Copies of this chain bind each other. A is one copy, B any other.
Amino acid sequence: MSKWIWFPGSFELYHSMLLHNRRTIARRYKDAKSPLMGETRSMYYQPMWEVSGPEHNVVLQKEATIDKEETIEMLSNTEYSLINVDGVSYPRNVKIKLSKGQHKVVVSGFNAEAFPAFYIKGNVFASNRSYTVLNRMRRGQNAGESELYTDENDKVEIFKFKYKPVKPVSVRKVNRGTLYDFGREQFAKLTLKSSAIKKVTLFLGESEEEALDTDYTQIVLNAEMQKGAYTSNAVAFRYVFIPTTKAHTLSAKLEYLPIVNRGCFKGANDFVNKLWDICAYTMLLNSREGFFDGIKRDRWIWSGDAYQSYLVNYYLGFDKEIVKRTIRSLRGGDPIIHHMNTITDYTFFWLISIWEYYFYTGDKDFIHDIYPDMKDVLAFVEGRLSRDGMFETRPGDWVFIDWSTFDSDGPLCAEQILLARAYECMSNCAKLNNEPEEAVRCKKRSDAIKKKVNALYWSDKKGGFVDSYTSGKENVTRHANILALLFGYTTKEREQSIIKNVIYNKKITPITTPYFEFFELDAMCKIGDFKYMTDMLDSYWGGMLRLGATTIWEEFDPRKKGIEHYEMYGGKYEKSLCHAWGASPIYLLGKYALGIKPTAPGYEAYEVRPNKMAFLGNFEGKVPCPAGEIFVKITDDDVRVKSPIDGGTLVLPSGTYKIEKNKELIAHW
């Protein structure tokens, strides 16, 4: 089957460039001195980092021997293109017969506005990643392709979203206008029709308060009617307020990517079932060209946020394409001039994510294709390390880790741990790409950093890792300690100390973002403390749901009241109420309640280790793997497993059981 092909990364960089430039200013300048100065909402907002464009000139080739005749034909998205077969050039849209034997096919093209893409009909010479780059830049690398673009009529410049109508659940007259409530968060195109209205502003809110508080509403649409109608781009909202009493109709079409939720979870606890659904819907809305952070404000691809979406995805849609797109978008083009999203830890997560992608999917091709990019990223990282190979902050670096206050005198402990993990993952990928020397080098680097972290940052007095070893303040935050648990980078003794002196220590500032809560709960589950996780589902996620959340928020602080919850970054409604990094319950329930995870790349081997959790009661669910879904059901008495693949082991207190493909296994606890 033919696919559209392009310079590796160009499709992703092109769409990434477009999406990163779709953000608008969300806030109004209240202290305006002139009427004009007041209204900045809906104006353009420049991305905070360098956004790369695609390659405009591309040459791709394939050499192969065919044992029967075939006819090929090249289509392209540019008139500046040709196909050269065994040294003879042809224009596009021409059928060319290839005789039995060896052939060399070269396609080249130029596209100034977007990027050149080719579609070659044929058999052996059908276009796909088996074509390789002839440009000097990235010569020899495989062509880019996507499972989404396999039809000859596809337009690669248009991202293939789907659309479906969504209807408001209530319409109310209020404040001399109309308030529409769509029941839950939407990312949709709005169409306003009216013969009476010429121009009107639509005020969109993730909350009712925001939609009606028109001085502060973040997303406003200045609708200028053309022939009685106006249709917006897709935007985020649950509520729409139209401040007019004139007759009109409003309709909406959800814009989404049709990723099937192959994972599922259903149990005795209705709250958990509801939470799972809300998390899945939060993921749906944020799964687009890549994994977005949130749909209202940035709609950008952030590496750390995306890292978590990958993990949730492995327990939900198991969509490889979106992971690959996100990874390529984050990588950007050349030269690399800053960390991903300018954030040091986000670069480390990017390197880590690629190995984990392989571990879940077994997709060796992508590891092969992205490996040269990884090497360049690592070279960038290494160019900024200290003399002894440790992380240190350089001018222009954003050391994020989390929205929290750290003792940032000197390099942060959490960054060192992520760097060590990045080296470890790089080592694995090097091995996979037949670079054993590089694999050994990276492993050594990783071990050296781990050793130094344990020597420099550990505080016996505090019983945990401190942020900084240079300040002498011995300030402890949860973050580095959580990462050390998660990656198993310290001794069992110290792990116990961390749990007692840091995690369960109420004096240590709690995590306030679902982002880092993800890592905390992952770490606690990993060491077998499931109650810590289910308590948090109840108190933290439950806290949001009890306040009416229909998607998961960017941040949640139970101490806040009313619309205080919507405030962030100094803006009254600037907090995102549909933020992907809140969807971790899907991952946690799949990995630790259903208990499923690969133990060898691509589920060649895997483990089902379900855990009874009082809070959940009995439950059942599915977790996707490359070849289908693994089903698990637990009751008080027994555990049932059915899997489409071999290689699985059911691990229970009563013993371990081999899981046979397509055969239900029932075992007692």
Residues of A participating in the B interface, judged by any CB pair closer than 8 Å: 17-18, 21, 25, 29, 32, 36-37, 40, 43-44, 46-47, 49-51, 53, 55-57, 59, 79-82, 88-91, 94, 108-110, 112-114, 135-137, 334-335, 337-338, 342, 396
Q: What residues on B are CB-neighbors of A89 within 8 Å?
A: 25, 29, 40, 43
Q: What residues on B are CB-neighbors of A51 within 8 Å?
A: 56-57
**Of B56, B57, B137, B337, which one neighbours A337 at CB under 8 angstroms?**
B137
Q: How distant is A92 from chain B, measured CB to nearest CB, in Å?
A: 9
A136 with B49: CB separation less than 8 A: yes
A18 with B50: CB separation less than 8 A: no
Top 4 A-B pairs ranked by shortest CB distance?
Answer: A46-B108, A21-B110, A113-B113, A335-B335
Supply 20 further A-B pairs (C-beta < 8 A) apart from A37-B90, A136-B338. Answer: A17-B112, A21-B80, A29-B88, A36-B90, A36-B94, A37-B88, A43-B90, A43-B91, A44-B91, A44-B110, A46-B59, A46-B110, A47-B57, A50-B57, A50-B135, A53-B56, A136-B337, A137-B337, A334-B334, A334-B335
Q: What residues on B are CB-neighbors of A135 within 8 Å?
A: 50
The closest CB in chain B to the CB of A41 belongs to B89
A57 with B21: CB separation less than 8 A: yes
A81 to B53, CA, bound (A): 18
A44 with B113: CB separation less than 8 A: no
Q: What residues on B are CB-neighbors of A80 within 8 Å?
A: 21, 44
Q: How distant is A365 from chain B, measured CB to nearest CB, in Å?
A: 25
A338 to B136, CA, bound (A): 8
Q: How distant is A88 from chain B, measured CB to nearest CB, in Å?
A: 5
Q: What residues on B are CB-neighbors of A94 within 8 Å?
A: 36
Q: What residues on B are CB-neighbors of A90 within 8 Å?
A: 36-37, 40, 43
Q: What residues on B are CB-neighbors of A53 within 8 Å?
A: 53, 55-56, 112
Q: How distant is A16 from chain B, measured CB to nearest CB, in Å?
A: 11
Please indicate which of the listed interface residues A21, A29, A338 has the most CB atoms of chain B within 10 Å of its own CB.
A21
A620 to B362, CA, bound (A): 80
A108 to B50, CA, bound (A): 13
Q: Main secondary structure on chain A at its contact with chain B?
A: loop
Q: What residues on B are CB-neighbors of A82 within 8 Å?
A: 25, 43-44
A114 to B114, CA, bound (A): 10
Q: What residues on B are CB-neighbors of A337 within 8 Å?
A: 136-137
Q: What residues on B are CB-neighbors of A137 within 8 Å?
A: 50, 337
Copies of this protein in the assembly total: 2
A571 to B43, CA, bound (A): 56
Q: How distant is A78 from chain B, measured CB to nearest CB, in Å?
A: 9
**Can you show 5 pairs from A to B with CB atoms below 8 A apart?**
A17-B112, A29-B88, A46-B108, A112-B114, A136-B342
A44 with B112: CB separation less than 8 A: no
Q: What residues on B are CB-neighbors of A50 within 8 Å?
A: 57, 135-137
Q: What residues on B are CB-neighbors of A36 within 8 Å?
A: 90, 94
A82 to B21, CA, bound (A): 12
A55 to B46, CA, bound (A): 13
Please indicate which of the listed interface residues A51, A55, A57, A342 has the most CB atoms of chain B within 10 Å of its own CB.
A57
A91 to B38, CA, bound (A): 12
Q: How distant is A77 from chain B, measured CB to nearest CB, in Å?
A: 13
A44 with B108: CB separation less than 8 A: yes
A112 to B90, CA, bound (A): 30
The closest CB in chain B to the CB of A56 belongs to B53
Please indicate which of the listed interface residues A79, A112, A337 has the most CB atoms of chain B within 10 Å of its own CB.
A112
B136 with A396: CB separation less than 8 A: yes
Q: What residues on B are CB-neighbors of A136 within 8 Å?
A: 49-50, 337-338, 342, 396
Q: What residues on B are CB-neighbors of A334 within 8 Å?
A: 334-335
Please indicate which of the listed interface residues A29, A79, A88, A113 has the most CB atoms of chain B within 10 Å of its own CB.
A88
A607 to B329, CA, bound (A): 58
Q: What residues on B are CB-neighbors of A29 within 8 Å?
A: 88-89
A44 with B81: CB separation less than 8 A: yes
Q: What residues on B are CB-neighbors of A57 within 8 Å?
A: 17, 21, 46-47, 50-51
A25 to B108, CA, bound (A): 13
The closest CB in chain B to the CB of A21 belongs to B110
Q: What residues on B are CB-neighbors of A110 within 8 Å?
A: 21, 44, 46
Known: A50-B136, A51-B56, A88-B37. A112 touches B109 (CB 8 A): no
The closest CB in chain B to the CB of A76 belongs to B44
The closest CB in chain B to the CB of A18 belongs to B112
Q: How distant is A286 from chain B, measured CB to nearest CB, in Å?
A: 22
